[in-house]
Amino acid sequence: MGKLTLKQAAAWCGGWVDPKYEDIEFFGANNDTRVIQPGQLFIVLQGARDGHDFIPMAMEKGAAAVLCSRKVGDYPAIIVDDPRIALGDIARQERQRIGFKAVGITGSVGKSTTKEMVATVLEGSFRTAKTPVNHNNDIGMPMAILAMPEDTEVAVLEMGMNHFREMAYLSSIAQPDIGVIVNIGTMHIEHLGSIEGIRKAKLEILEGMAHNAKLILNGDDRMLRSLPQKPVQEITYFGSDALCGVRAEEIQEQDGILGFYAAAKCHRFLVQMALEGQHFVADALAAVSVALELGVPPVRIQERLSMFRNLAGRQEIYEKNGYTIISDCYNAGPESMTAALAVLGKKPGRRIAVLGDMLELGDCAWAEHYRIGRIAVENADMVFVYGPNSDRVVKGAITGGMPETRARGFDTHEALAQALKFAAKPGDVLLFKGSRGMHMENVLKLFLEEEK
């Protein structure tokens, strides 16, 4: 990672630094004193507590300097009006200084998995950096850029948002050479009002992209097939539709292996991955599309995708205590919940869906949770649900034909886990899934009697 002086960073963000500290160098940035590393720039943010209170602790742990809005003690510091905006300004200039190609990835569902797939493929051909887990917002993404090595050739950046103009801001920092939109779903509809509003917010990624940048879109998503205005950027569509430039043909699933032929222009080659569920095909096609755009040979794409393993908490399937566990607790929305239930439905044996609420659905929450209950009936023998909307899922399941004794809602993790211990038997298949804020991984740990 490149070292920057306080003088240089202050010039980039319009800040002030005491002349005696101008030549102090830092590499990387962090806003959390619990994990800050020696030599990093400590970013002071306003949260439940004033971030300025943590400056002494950050310096004790080896921070090189701080980015703050007022002077606290005689520490090396860059003083700015708004540290959050200043962090973005510094990251924007560092991205330009390093000069890597940036691949910006967004979407309602699957953007983290797609980011990991793209990075996995590109790592075989380029010096590749990527945003770490949970670094997809206006704090995390700039910090990730500041941590990228000087010799980075391609940066794969996950870009998330839940309000208008957030994506535009991220795009102004990332300035993607290739922009990828995986899909338009109902996640964050509470803040964005409608599916059209979600599309509008995602398309803000275009605002930081040059006219000669490339846009890669899911051609099977009707919201991306019928854009309200044609972008100036060249578009490549991926999907199963015959009109897509990068297509999936002959999709098959067998013994935990997902396979399909990727067809694009003069190429047609087999892709095989250790994943279950056809919803992963779109993510893989996005990775294939980016790789082909950057000139990666098909044989290398095949090899790298065969090595792909998903992130922790995202469809981890394993055997424990006689049960088959599908741990997919990282997040959930109607689309990903439906896909996870479809994976459960293909498993042999008795199937139990252990579900948590889907958050940020606004006025759609009641209808969507009821719909998931109806879908659960087709894929599970029992449904255990946690959260304020659990009664809606249970009602959907019972209305769909599931006996009342097999569809139950719970107010606490502990009550759910205890009931599950009585109901589950060795040989059962259990899916654990819910929105991040529901912490369904804690239910899994309680059920397996592991420490939380």
Q: Are 50 and 43 in contact (CB under 8 A)?
A: no
Which pLDDT score is estimated for 1? 56
Region of residue 84 (phi > 0: left; psi between -120 and 50: alpha; otherwise: beta): alpha
In sequence order, what are the beta bridge partners of 385?
A: 355, 409
**DSSP conformation class of 255:** T
Q: How far are the Cα atoms of 36, 54, 229, 430 from residue 317, in angstroms, in the given order?
A: 33, 40, 42, 10
pLDDT tens column, 390-428: 999 999 999 999 999 999 999 999 999 999 999 999 999
pLDDT above 60 (res 90): yes
- Is the pLDDT at 449 greater than 60? The verdict is yes
**Scanning the structure block, which residue is given the tokens 């209170």?**
53
Integer Cα distance of 427 and 412 in angstroms: 26
Which pLDDT does position 2 carry in this prediction? Answer: 64
| Average predicted confidence (pLDDT) for the chain | 95
When pLDDT is averaged across residues 124-147 and rounded to a whole number, the result is 96
Structure confidence at residue 452 as a pLDDT band (50, 70, 90): low
Structural domains present in the chain: 4-86 (3.40.1390.10), 99-306 (3.40.1190.10), 316-447 (3.90.190.20)
* Rounded CA separation 152/140 (Å): 18
Instruction: Say if CB 164 and CB 190 are below 8 A apart.
Output: no
CA distance 139 to 137: 5
Per-residue pLDDT averaged across 292-299, rounded?
97
- Please give the pLDDT value at position 414: 97
* More confident: 314 or 31: 31
The pLDDT-based confidence of 356 (bands split at 50, 70, 90) is very high
- What pLDDT, on the 0 to 100 scale, is given for residue 288? 98
Is the Cβ–Cβ distance between 414 and 446 less than 8 Å?
yes
What pLDDT is attached to residue 310?
84
Give the DSSP per-residue string, 24-62: -EE-SEES-TTT--TTPEEE--BSSSBGGGGHHHHHHTT
24 pLDDT band (50/70/90 cuts)?
very high
Nearest to 231 by CA among 286, 281, 176, 189: 176
Query: Which residues sit opposite 267 in a β-bridge?
Result: 264
191: confidence class by pLDDT, cuts 50, 70, 90: confident
